[in-house]
């Protein structure tokens, strides 16, 4: 019984973490180009205009 509860928690941890970070990115989009936070691709980091478009 304890193992099943443990596995349930482990299996639900990833979706809840993804939801948490999704809401965080939705509410607090990055304002300037950075290499840590936000939607980071070569094309989106090319200039400020594409960065803002990609992160909204």
Q: Give the pLDDT confidence score for residue 36 in this predicted structure.
A: 77
Q: For residue 13, give both structure tokens.
A: 């941890």
Q: What is the pLDDT of residues 14-50, one digit of tens each?
A: 999 999 988 887 888 777 777 777 778 888 888 888 8
Residue 56 has pLDDT above 90, yes or no: no
Residue holding tokens 């970070």? 21
How close are the terminal C-alpha atoms of the chain, in Å?
Answer: 44
User: Any residues with CB less than 8 A from the CB of 14 and at least 6 apart, and which?
Assistant: none
The model carries a pTM of 0.51
């Amino acid at each position: 019984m304890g193992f099943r509860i443990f596995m349930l928690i482990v299996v639900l941890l990833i979706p809840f973490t993804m939801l948490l970070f999704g809401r965080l990115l939705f509410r607090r989009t990055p304002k300037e180009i950075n290499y840590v936070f936000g939607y980071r691709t070569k094309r989106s980091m090319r200039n400020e205009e594409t960065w803002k478009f990609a992160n909204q």
